[in-house]
Structure 1
Amino acid sequence: MKSFAYIVAAALMFAACTPDSEDLTLGAKPGTSFTATVLASNPNKVALKNTTTGAFSYTWYNGGATPVSWKHTDTLTFSKKGEYTVSLVAYGAGGSSSASQKVTIAQDMPGVDILKGGNMEAGSEAHWTILNTGGPQTSITFTGGKLKFVNQPGGSNGGIYQELTVKKDVEYTLSGVLKGGGANETWFEVIVGTTAPTQGSDYSGTKMNSINTWSGCGIANFEGELAAVGCDGLHKDGKITFATAGKIYLLIKGGCGGAGTFGPNGITIDDVKFVEAIQ
């Protein structure tokens, strides 16, 4: 009889502990929602305001499969123009739910100018090194907020350069404002190269763009962007990428033949930039 009583008691205890006796009903899933607003002050940033209810954890996506934020509310940056799908996954006691909406970025993010002293204002000379390329030296001076080249009688040559560090497979854009005119037997070049310049030696590299009277520009008065007034070079649009990362040298060089001249007021360059694209 005692054995039978023990069996009955054990059965009652087992029945009391079965899941059927517990309330395992999940709560409601979160009501996931948010707003996405492109900032008027920065068209490459989107302010996300989380309006979700019933959640304790959040994951944001900017169009890809990898989360970009776990904050309740955040601001995302988009470097390239286009349409993106922003998604929010919210987690609560009842599980998870998601919401998505599209945002439009109207422009690429402005790049970063890695050149120093390109505005040619007072103090800019600290970032540049004047190069003697052999023979009579072209006069190169910072004056009136511009970099000015003036030839020496009988022909001269010379340059000025700056060391830069570039990234692999990133686009760089050269720009600058040139002014001059009335030149003959004259070249004025912007060159990039990977070899450090040596005083007393000419410099050769990749000629980005140039004024060249033999090619038909610089003879008449000119003033404008290098891309518009230059007529010789491998990257006249100013755009270049590099196959390897590391140091390069940007050199501005000007010279003329024995009977040549840069023109009555020389040649000036100003507002020089070498802009690294945002990735």
Structure 2
Amino acid sequence: MKNICFVAIAAIISSCSPESSSKQLGPLPTASFTVTPMEGKPYKMIVKSTTNGGFLWRWNYRDTKVAVRETDTLSFAKQGEYPIQFTVFTDGGYATTSQNVTVTADAPVADILKGGDMEAGSGQYWTLLNTGGTQTSIQVTNGVMQFGNTGDSNGAIYQKLKVIPGREYTFSGDVKGTGATNTWFEVYFGTKAPAQGSDYSGTGVTKYIALNTWSGCGLVPFDGNLAEIGCDGDGKGKGGTMVFAGSDTTVYMVIKAGSAGGNMGTGITLDNVKFMEEQ
């Protein structure tokens, strides 16, 4: 009696059903592989399986990144030490191993955002979004984007971006304020196009990083990179990095701010906004 395993390659999920056969299973494999830095591009690593008889390979690295070829190339945005986990499937079963690699140089990056420096003329790249109700004051002035209110309000500004699924991106932006009450200052990324008069939320929309006074940040004077000092959102603690999955190549960066039962103090400024794409 033999177990025939059907493996869904995308998820590497196996389910087995018995089938009568005289063929015997092979021996259990031992997973092993080599890692070689790419010549001239030390932020790329060429990995190669050295396990005989493999028919399916899986390389896990950089959290959400996966590669599936017997010999593959793995890219790393920043220099440092990273673990690579390797799983190989043979007719005898599967085996997993891992090893750490040292990346000696950062990958080249490019800022794909326009008007992030908030200098004169940068406002043309941003679209003001009314999210319903009283509009938060948002304007580019004196080299910064200024958000302000004197009470309950909401509103946003956004920019359409083209991204490459599977590639790493890094968001950063300098925020400064004197302290606010019952206030949010949020950065969203979504595949859904913003609509005037509607809040930006729902399917296809992710709150990536935010100041949120209910969560404990933004209450007292602050001045720093939002990706680092934000205390709310899926990107909290990730240093601004993200990877887009799926096949969508158009996303919207939406920066939303408002208050409910409070205000933004003397206002919140945003400057030096960047959205870096690894090359």
- Structure with the bigger percentage of helix: 1
Identity of aligned residues (%): 53
1:121 shift after superposition? 0.8
Q: Distance in 2 between matches of 1:63 and 1:193?
A: 33
Residue range with higher mean Cα deviation, 129-138 or 176-185: 176-185
- Gap change, CA 1:63 and 1:191, over 3 Å in 2: closer
Other-structure match for 1:273: 274
| Conservation of the 8 A alpha-carbon contact between 1:44 and 1:105 | no
What is the TM-score normalised by the length of structure 2?
Answer: 0.61
* Residue identity opposite 2:232 in structure 1: D
Q: Distance in 1 between matches of 2:245 and 2:103?
A: 29
1:146 shift after superposition? 0.7
Deviation beyond 4 Å, 4+ runs, structure 1: 62-65, 78-82
| Conservation of the 8 A alpha-carbon contact between 1:44 and 1:108 | no
| Conservation of the 8 A alpha-carbon contact between 1:163 and 1:248 | yes
Q: Distance in 1 between matches of 2:162 and 2:143?
A: 25
1:105 shift after superposition? 7.9
Gaps of 5+ in 2: 1-38, 49-74, 81-101
Is the counterpart of residue 191 in structure 1 residue 193 in structure 2?
Answer: no
Q: Distance in 2 between matches of 1:123 and 1:180?
A: 24
1:1-279 to structure 2, matched below 5 A, reads 106-151=104-149, 153-204=150-201, 205-236=205-236, 237=238, 238-244=240-246, 245-257=248-260, 259-264=261-266, 266-278=267-279
Higher-Rg member (1/2): 1
| Conservation of the 8 A alpha-carbon contact between 1:44 and 1:79 | no
User: For 1:214, what is the secondary structure of its paired residue?
Assistant: coil
1:192 shift after superposition? 0.4
Gaps of 5+ in 1: 1-37, 46-61, 66-77, 83-103
Q: Distance in 2 between matches of 1:200 and 1:116?
A: 24
Deviations, residues 37-74 of structure 1 (Å, cap 9, x unaligned) = x9xxxx969xxxxxxxxxxxxxxxx9899xxxxxxxxx
Deviations, residues 144-203 of structure 1 (Å, cap 9, x unaligned) = 11111001x341000000000111111111111110132001000000000100000000
* Residue identity opposite 1:179 in structure 2: K
1:109 shift after superposition? 2.6
- Gap change, CA 1:255 and 1:108, over 3 Å in 2: same
| Conservation of the 8 A alpha-carbon contact between 2:128 and 2:158 | yes
* Residue identity opposite 1:260 in structure 2: G
Deviations, residues 16-42 of structure 1 (Å, cap 9, x unaligned) = xxxxxxxxxxxxxxxxxxxxxx9xxxx
1:227 shift after superposition? 2.2
1:113 shift after superposition? 1.0
Other-structure match for 1:30: none
* Residue identity opposite 2:264 in structure 1: F
* Residue identity opposite 2:251 in structure 1: I
1:229 shift after superposition? 1.6
- Structure with the bigger percentage of strand: 2
* Residue identity opposite 2:263 in structure 1: T
Q: Distance in 1 between matches of 2:222 and 2:211?
A: 10
What is the TM-score normalised by the length of structure 1?
Answer: 0.61
